[in-house]
Structure 1
Amino acid sequence: MKFSKFSLLFLITGSFLLAQNQKYTIAEAVNGLRSNLAVKNISQFSWSDDNKSFYQGVKNGYLVTEVQSMKQDTLVSLFQLNKNLAADRKLKSFPRINFINKDKGYFTQGSKYFWVQRSGKEWKVTDWNSLDENAENTELLSDNSGFVYTVKNNLYLNKNGKVVAITDDQDENIVNGKSVHQQEFGISKGIFISPDNSKIAFYRMDQTMVNDYPIIDWSVVPAVNKNIKYPMAGSKSHHVTLGIYDIKTNKTTFVKTEGDAEQYLTVITWNPDSKSIFIGVLNRDQNDLQMNQYDAASGNFVKTIFEEKSDKYVEPQHPLTFFPNSTTDFIWQSERSGFNHLFHYNIDKGLIAQITKGNWLVTELLGFNEKKKEIFYTSTQETPLERHLYKVNWNTFKTEKLTDQAGMHTGILSKDGNHLYDSYSNANSPRIVNVINTNTLKSKNLITSENTLKNYQRPEIKNVTLSADDGTPLYGKLILPTDFDASKKYPVIVYLYNGPHLQLITNSFPASGNLWYEYMAQRGYIVFTMDGRGSSNRGQKFEQAVFRHLGETEMKDQLKGVAYLKSLPYVNADKMGIHGWSFGGFMTTSFMLKHPEVFKVGVAGGPVIDWNMYEIMYTERYMDSPQNNPEGYKQANLLDKVQNLKGHLLMIHGAQDNVVVWQHSIKFLKAAVDNGVQLDYFVYPGHEHNVLGKDRVHLMQKVTDYFDEYLKK
């Protein structure tokens, strides 16, 4: 069959238009970017110990790339590992290897550890160690001689195959070696091994005074209760101490942290000489931090290096970072200037200098180039909507920006500081990965990912900047329906969080920020989302504007967004919905009760209903204690405001939620019954605070259907 040029052009053009008209399934809208629409990335990137090459994971193996020439070769493959294994021990899939150097690494299978070693062209897998099958929180000694781990509530050392019980607490409510203080203050672990591997510091948390809280497993018959310890605002908190175990003497000394037993022990840091340890001791009111040095052998207090106070709160989040080959000088990250910046301290002389300055904040400290006296970091210096990579000389304070392309950059620095792995995306670029020479600033591209959404019907997205009542800029995004016609009026969904430690609006891929927003745009909705005061990465004043009155300033800012929406001729102000989860669920419910005339429909997931029932560390930071701020707690409490509900409200909760416990929404239901108020409710059995995996598709279908039911009629 022959086609004319015109017919061929028509076919090509028609296919192109058809391709761009594809619509997301709900599964793609929810999990697509982690499955069939995932953007190409470099897996398991790491720098070699000699700084001359880097490793990356590929299917059934690892590649090694020489930085100078970019010559690439197979480092090790599944075939090579299996070649020297007996038939009954052959690996079915390639394990994730932690490389010590280019010829040696290790991997785990369950509680078993294996060496992977190269001899000539051959790779061999040998048994290394086997830990208790219930081992958790495993930390490896840096000389690879042993492991420190927890089993239930106790701490163990397995060194050269010999197991020693470091603690032996019979009461399960005394917990050793695990993270404490509800993982606030940047705490992510409870085991801290000294640099010389001679001592092991560990958290010991006594929870005996904290109330039990039931978490019911409904999957078995009869249902089974598992109590957790959940310290609620204003109630008794757990008591934490820091033990130091001496491997040679087999003895434990507890650090003498004097003061209130309910104080917080944060940012644990070993001195590189392993002779002393630093603890940020923060009072329960969270407004007075003392950075104390303690002797590691005796546990005795040595001195306070510095103190930080605030009329609101001090929130330490990062351990000390010592300068290369120094036991006296370190970097401390602090918001004392209003934004998180780097401060140079000396143990004996105190503050030496503030290294970074400005109305922007450092978001990550990446490392050093010792020879050039350079510090590498990520910051919002360009704009709060982006992250860029920088270096600064710690003597002259000369700063240089290392990335030019707009977007959200993340970096991994080589150990010598001469090369920087730079991965970024922006509204138009799904992912670009380069390696930057930090001396010449020349870069080599590793991947430029294709747009996996190119065949889909994408909405127009408008960046919006509004002003809070004090003139503060508020950044948001307006996502228009894919069949947008300015002469028509459309229903609107406002998605919000607006709480601490989260930022929704950035210049990243996809430009919308969430494929579910685009899915709703394909279904004829306008979607609006904005970061109001109280949210993250805008500095202390922005974050602390909500202090003692959670929900109030945030609603004022979000109402600016509502006013903007109502000013648009194509917005149907009578058909507005609101949706959020966790803090966003609290905000959604607050709007439906405190401003019931604004939104016709609300969907609140995992909502905080009464801050008296949320955990101490988070709540008392932002709200003070219930005893000191009864009016603030009463103002934020939604249980006595349920009678104000006018619109349609769907509340959703995970039945095993151990963050915002189920009782929040259960008490809200009781208040609704008591007041004769009707609302809709749904529970996800087996899920904790977030509904994840395939069940999240069910969740977002339910949310979608609810908006369809009440906003499309």
Structure 2
Amino acid sequence: MATTFPRQHARTHRFTLGAPRSFTVAPDGSRVVFLRSRNGSDLAHLLWVRDVASGAERIAADPEALLGGVAEELSAEERARRERSREGTAGVVGYATDTSVNSAAFALSGRLFVADLHSGQARELPVPAPVVDPRPSPDGRHVAYATGGALRVVTAAGTDDRALAEPEADTVAWGVAEFVAAEEMSRTRGHWWSPDSDRLLAARVDDAPVHRWTVADPANPHEEPARIAYPAAGTENAEVRLYLIDLDGTRCEVVWDRERYPYLARAHWSSGGPPLLQVQSRDQREAACLSVDTATGATSVTLIENDPIWLELFGGVPAWAPDGSLVRIADEAGRPDGAAGTSGARVLMAGARRLTPATLHVRAVLDIGDEDVLFSASEGDGAPRSRPGDIGVYRVPLAGGEPVRVTDGEEPHVASAVRGGGTLVLSTATLSRPGPRAVVLREDGTAPVAGQPAAVASFAEEPVLGTAPRLVHAGPRRIPAAVVLPTGYREADGPLPVLMDPYGGPHGQRVVAAHNAHLTAQWFADQGFAVVTADGRGTPGHSPGWEKAVSRRLASVTLDDQVAALQALAEEYPLDTSRVGIRGWSYGGYLAALAVLRRPDVFHAAVAGAPVTDWRLYDTHYTERYCGTPQDDPEVYAESSLITDAGLAGVDRDAPHRPMMIIHGLADDNVVVAHALRLSSALLAAGRAHEVLPLSGVTHMAGGAEVAENLLLLQVDFLKRSLGAGG
């Protein structure tokens, strides 16, 4: 039987299996550590080490050998951690190293393992299970880890295992990130070693104040429902405190104004200065960078930032540079409507020095060196050669100077990098080539050894189809968009039914200059559609004003931009605007349902996957950033939600009814299935026919090869039926 795209896409985990990832470079530049599975359909990642000088690679940890061939078993804590990080693979899915990158620690089946990165030998340390987030000390002599709510430490030899902090109640956990930190702040950690390896900075999380929700599995009524602490908008968050803990268990609380700044967004501890915290106000309009006195736990203000809309959080910052300056990413104000050319700038700062021009939209800091900063950026709003979906890697001197683009070439691409000791691992994806390509270079751009291949081998499968998306700026608003037409389409074939395929909301850029990102769109196109993906206002990678234009008006702005993109592109491409479908997942599912309910004059069918339908049921940190609180801003919630207590929201009852398929995983603990069920109830009460596809045992990731494959087939069947499309 020939391999179909849906089957291959599902089996290869969207073509990511077998591709190298999670790189770490030794500080002397001599070796690179990374994860990679054995082939393009093997879920289990192995830990690998590459010798930079020779290019030779060896396995440092093989999960199959370490577990003796026994299937991996995940604890509830590890399953929750992977759900927050959207990790759907197996084996060694994450690791941490000491400063010299001589050893690595990781968890398998809730057990603690360490690997010698020189000899390639890995061994288990006998400690209490289940182990979560093990981290070696900088000197490699100890490993700290979380288990059962406690934070513990053991020597690298496996001796003297002991608790540094134990939970005082069932609701307390030490050394881990709370739900909203991991889900919404991209802070997945809860403990940090001191540079001298003699103490830890540890979070104490008490979720007693958080409301309890129930997530049941109706397909297995004999199983007890799961009780989860879910901080819905306008309700209490977990209480997060921070402590300095010595290796003998002596602790000192880190004190800051937690009433004013309840969110611990970032923590950084390096040899560049004292522990550094970034804390946020509940409304996210004020944040403080605090320096910690390690003798007393007292904090002092290094910087306070304010924004009338909200303050964004960024990867890799705030952090100390070796010269003691504070490296951060800052927004410079523009017009709040996100209008092209007037929507502000996102720049890199070192102390009071601005390091980047307004024409670069800085996205994240990748590394802070002795003399420069490595960062990722897009061409900003108003840049002379701004290209949709282009993400490059740059470096700029700490003392100030012109940023230099590390990635070159005329073709748009998506790149990231890590470095150490003059060695750079650069990963680049382009539109013309399937999958990312990782190469090991000296920072001057040359191969480490003449004649040796610099590429890190990828075992990822070659897709059974190819794609050539058109990436454009659509209409006067210059909305980044991708247009994908059927393979072999000719102008004589005439206009095509349209499938809008957005995420369309915060933190979800879909229009990127990477081939594999558009493969699913190509498959849908080959079923007889013109597929359009539009990144309207609210999506990242463009400008601060573009992102913040959705403040207090999520629904209207994001929907308006989908309509505007469609209408503008219809003037240039063969789009049959009398047959327009829309599909999406999570925020994209919300946007799909919103489209057919509020603009049935434009959209004629929708597939709404795991949609947020009532923002009162979504979490605090995300929802309150855009909508305020239900107590203070009830009108915002009414306008942004699909349903109210009385039924459908913002819908003209006399408007045409459009077909809708609602898909939701019953085990989803991020967007709980209550969202879909309440929407279905409101549609039923309004007499509107619709389809509901419940996914038993499936979470927000909708993982599993069979589920992923058949979801594509069922969606295309629904869209063909609803729009009268062939192909």
Normalising by the smaller structure, the TM-score range is 0.7 to 0.9
- Give, in whole Å, the separation in 1 of the partners of 2:138 and 2:218: 43
Quick one: which amino acid aligns to residue 235 of structure 1? T
Alpha-carbon spacing, 1:217–1:136, altered in 2? closer, same or farther (3 Å): farther
- Give, in whole Å, the separation in 2 of the partners of 1:201 and 1:236: 25
Alpha-carbon spacing, 1:423–1:649, altered in 2? closer, same or farther (3 Å): same
Matched residue, 2:83: none
After TM superposition, give the deviation of residue 48 of structure 1 in Å. 4.0
Matched residue, 1:478: 483
Matched residue, 1:253: 252
After TM superposition, give the deviation of residue 375 of structure 1 in Å. 2.1
- Confirm whether residue 550 of structure 1 aligns to residue 554 of structure 2: yes
After TM superposition, give the deviation of residue 460 of structure 1 in Å. 5.5
- Give, in whole Å, the separation in 2 of the partners of 1:298 and 1:284: 26
Alpha-carbon spacing, 1:344–1:63, altered in 2? closer, same or farther (3 Å): closer
Structure 1 residues 678-712: Cα deviation after superposition (integer angstroms, max 9, x where no partner): 21101111111121121111211111111122222
Structure 1 residues 513-536: Cα deviation after superposition (integer angstroms, max 9, x where no partner): 332222222221111111101001
Written as runs of structure 1 = structure 2, the 5 A alignment for 1:512-523 is 513-523=517-527
Written as runs of structure 1 = structure 2, the 5 A alignment for 1:420-439 is 420-430=424-434, 431-439=436-444
- Confirm whether residue 27 of structure 1 aligns to residue 33 of structure 2: no
- Give, in whole Å, the separation in 2 of the partners of 1:75 and 1:127: 16
Matched residue, 1:709: 721
* TM-score, normalised with respect to structure 1: 0.83
Matched residue, 2:275: 277
Deviating more after overlay: 608-617 vs 142-151: 142-151
Aligned pair partner of 2:507 in 482, 494, 501: 501
Matched residue, 2:330: 334
- Give, in whole Å, the separation in 2 of the partners of 1:568 and 1:456: 29
Matched residue, 1:239: 239
Matched residue, 2:84: none
Aligned pair partner of 1:398 in 399, 402, 412: 402
Matched residue, 1:602: 606
Aligned-residue identity in percent: 20
Aligned pair partner of 2:498 in 468, 471, 492: 492
After TM superposition, give the deviation of residue 281 of structure 1 in Å. 2.3
After TM superposition, give the deviation of residue 543 of structure 1 in Å. 0.1
- Give, in whole Å, the separation in 1 of the partners of 2:261 and 2:225: 28
Aligned pair partner of 2:162 in 144, 161, 164: 164
Greater relative contact order, per chain length (Cα 8 Å cut-off, separation 6+): 2
Matched residue, 2:710: 698
After TM superposition, give the deviation of residue 432 of structure 1 in Å. 3.9
- Give, in whole Å, the separation in 1 of the partners of 2:6 and 2:160: 53
- Give, in whole Å, the separation in 1 of the partners of 2:573 and 2:281: 52
Matched residue, 2:417: 412
**Is contact 1:653-1:662 (8 Å) kept?**
yes
- Give, in whole Å, the separation in 2 of the partners of 1:652 and 1:131: 42
- Give, in whole Å, the separation in 2 of the partners of 1:135 and 1:180: 17
Q: Secondary structure at the match of 1:138?
A: strand
Matched residue, 1:461: 469
- Listed as ranges, the gaps of 5+ residues in structure 1 are 1-21, 346-350
After TM superposition, give the deviation of residue 61 of structure 1 in Å. 9.2
Written as runs of structure 1 = structure 2, the 5 A alignment for 1:154-303 is 154-159=150-155, 161-180=159-178, 182-183=180-181, 184-218=184-218, 220-248=220-248, 250-260=249-259, 263-270=262-269, 272=271, 276-301=274-299, 303=300
Alpha-carbon spacing, 1:414–1:598, altered in 2? closer, same or farther (3 Å): closer
Matched residue, 1:534: 538
Q: Secondary structure at the match of 1:646?
A: coil
Written as runs of structure 1 = structure 2, the 5 A alignment for 1:301-380 is 301=299, 303-318=300-315, 319-324=317-322, 326=323, 328-336=324-332, 338-345=344-351, 351=352, 353-370=353-370, 373-380=371-378
Q: Secondary structure at the match of 2:161?
A: strand
Quick one: which amino acid aligns to residue 210 of structure 1? V
Structure 1 residues 69-124: Cα deviation after superposition (integer angstroms, max 9, x where no partner): xx344656899x99xx9xx9899999969887798666765414255486xxxx58
Q: Secondary structure at the match of 2:523?
A: helix
**Is contact 1:61-1:74 (8 Å) kept?**
no
After TM superposition, give the deviation of residue 399 of structure 1 in Å. 2.5
- Give, in whole Å, the separation in 2 of the partners of 1:655 and 1:23: 30
Q: Secondary structure at the match of 1:414?
A: strand
After TM superposition, give the deviation of residue 264 of structure 1 in Å. 0.9
- Give, in whole Å, the separation in 1 of the partners of 2:528 and 2:605: 16
- Give, in whole Å, the separation in 2 of the partners of 1:571 and 1:174: 55
- Give, in whole Å, the separation in 1 of the partners of 2:374 and 2:187: 23
Structure 1 residues 412-438: Cα deviation after superposition (integer angstroms, max 9, x where no partner): 34322x232222121112344444433
- Give, in whole Å, the separation in 2 of the partners of 1:95 and 1:573: 47
Alpha-carbon spacing, 1:273–1:361, altered in 2? closer, same or farther (3 Å): closer
Alpha-carbon spacing, 1:142–1:48, altered in 2? closer, same or farther (3 Å): closer
Alpha-carbon spacing, 1:562–1:419, altered in 2? closer, same or farther (3 Å): same
Written as runs of structure 1 = structure 2, the 5 A alignment for 1:137-156 is 137-156=133-152
Matched residue, 1:581: 585
After TM superposition, give the deviation of residue 287 of structure 1 in Å. 0.7
- Confirm whether residue 638 of structure 1 aligns to residue 667 of structure 2: no
Deviating more after overlay: 433-442 vs 666-675: 433-442
- Give, in whole Å, the separation in 1 of the partners of 2:618 and 2:137: 37
Alpha-carbon spacing, 1:165–1:30, altered in 2? closer, same or farther (3 Å): closer
Matched residue, 1:15: none
Q: Secondary structure at the match of 1:203?
A: strand
* TM-score, normalised with respect to structure 2: 0.82
**Is contact 2:392-2:415 (8 Å) kept?**
yes
**Is contact 2:586-2:611 (8 Å) kept?**
yes
**Is contact 1:386-1:409 (8 Å) kept?**
yes
**Is contact 2:610-2:700 (8 Å) kept?**
yes
Alpha-carbon spacing, 1:673–1:90, altered in 2? closer, same or farther (3 Å): closer
Alpha-carbon spacing, 1:633–1:355, altered in 2? closer, same or farther (3 Å): same
- Give, in whole Å, the separation in 2 of the partners of 1:322 and 1:31: 43
Quick one: which amino acid aligns to residue 310 of structure 1? D
After TM superposition, give the deviation of residue 620 of structure 1 in Å. 0.6
After TM superposition, give the deviation of residue 203 of structure 1 in Å. 1.6
- Give, in whole Å, the separation in 2 of the partners of 1:580 and 1:605: 6
After TM superposition, give the deviation of residue 169 of structure 1 in Å. 2.7
